[in-house]
Amino acid sequence: MTPLDPGTKTQILDVAERLFAEQGFAATSLRALTAAAGVNLAAVNYHFGTKEALLVAVFERRLRPLNERRLAGVDALMREADAAGRAPSLEGLLDTLFRPVLEMAGEPGGDSCAKLFARVHLETEAEALESMFLAQFCAVRDRIMPALLRALPDLPEHELIWRLHFAIGALAHTMQSTIRLQWLARGKAMTTDREATLRRLVGFCAAGMRAPASKEDR
């Protein structure tokens, strides 16, 4: 195994992330996967144990650095805000939450993982996956929620939860694929530049989160 050779394990992870994203977890057979990866069929079970454990490994490889960047971003924004004696900026927090996801989508293979991410975000393919997922995101949630509460001091917490829920939905739907967007545009060319997408997403969600709460819900 030379430095250029990614190695069997990495090769499996790369192909798995692509095929799982394209066809879904249950619809992707280990035979097709290992054939596409150019490795032996038994290699998956040797290196990862089971197919389900492979799915968990695919996610962990991407999610760990992604959420670390998010946490570091929130911390930096909070330090800045504390130093200046003011609340953190809503746009800054949303940017910190969204940017690592869009940046991951720009890495080689990351676009597949972003799609897969959006998929599994609403599937319960594996129970082991669900627990890993929740563990990964708990830290982000617990760190960003107080920050958002400070950025939006007039918003009741349960309203903020709903709106963050909506914002995550907008992010997930954006990550899923650009096919729906293209369809929505009826063939009209759309710019899918990362910074522009991020700016639009942040702008949309920031405005939505700042909307005055209806008096029935206040």
Partner DNA sequence: CGCCATTTCAAACGTTCGTTTGAGTGCAAA
Partner DNA sequence: TTTGCACTCAAACGAACGTTTGAAATGGCG
Contacts to a copy of itself by CB under 8 A: 24, 26-27, 115, 118-119, 121-123, 125, 134, 141-142, 157-159, 161-174, 176-177, 180-181, 183-186, 188, 190-191, 196-197, 199-201, 203-211, 213-214, 216-217
Tell which positions 51-70 bind DNA, by CB under 7 A. 51-52
Residue 60 CB coordination number (10 Å): 14
Return d(Cα 175, Cα 119) in angstroms, integer: 10
Shortest distance, position 126 Cβ to DNA, whole Å: 10
31 scored as a contact of DNA (CB under 7 A): yes
Among 45, 86, 134, 141, binds DNA (CB under 7 A): 45
- The residue (of 20 and 98) whose beta carbon lies closer to DNA is 20
28 scored as a contact of DNA (CB under 7 A): yes
Whether the CB-CB separation of 197 and 114 falls below 8 Å is answered with no
50 scored as a contact of DNA (CB under 7 A): yes
Shortest distance, position 47 Cβ to DNA, whole Å: 6
Among 6, 24, 36, 43, binds DNA (CB under 7 A): 43
21 scored as a contact of DNA (CB under 7 A): no
- The residue (of 1 and 83) whose beta carbon lies closer to DNA is 1
One DSSP character per residue, 153-218 reads TTS-HHHHHHHHHHHHHHHHHHHH-SHHHHHHTTT------HHHHHHHHHHHHHHHHHSPPPTTT-
Return d(Cα 180, Cα 117) in angstroms, integer: 17
Whether the CB-CB separation of 55 and 63 falls below 8 Å is answered with no
By CB neighbour count within 10 A (0-12 exposed, 13-18 middle, 19+ buried), where does 161 fall?
A: middle
30 scored as a contact of DNA (CB under 7 A): yes
Shortest distance, position 13 Cβ to a copy of itself, whole Å: 21
Residue 155 CB coordination number (10 Å): 20
Looking at residue 24, the DSSP 8-state letter turns out to be: -
Contact partner, 107, from DNA, a copy of itself, none, Cβ < 5-8 Å per class: none
Contact partner, 43, from DNA, a copy of itself, none, Cβ < 5-8 Å per class: DNA
Nearest to residue 15, comparing CAs of 108, 121, 101, 126? 108
Residues that bind DNA in the complex, under the rule CB under 7 A:
1, 7-8, 28-32, 39-47, 50-52
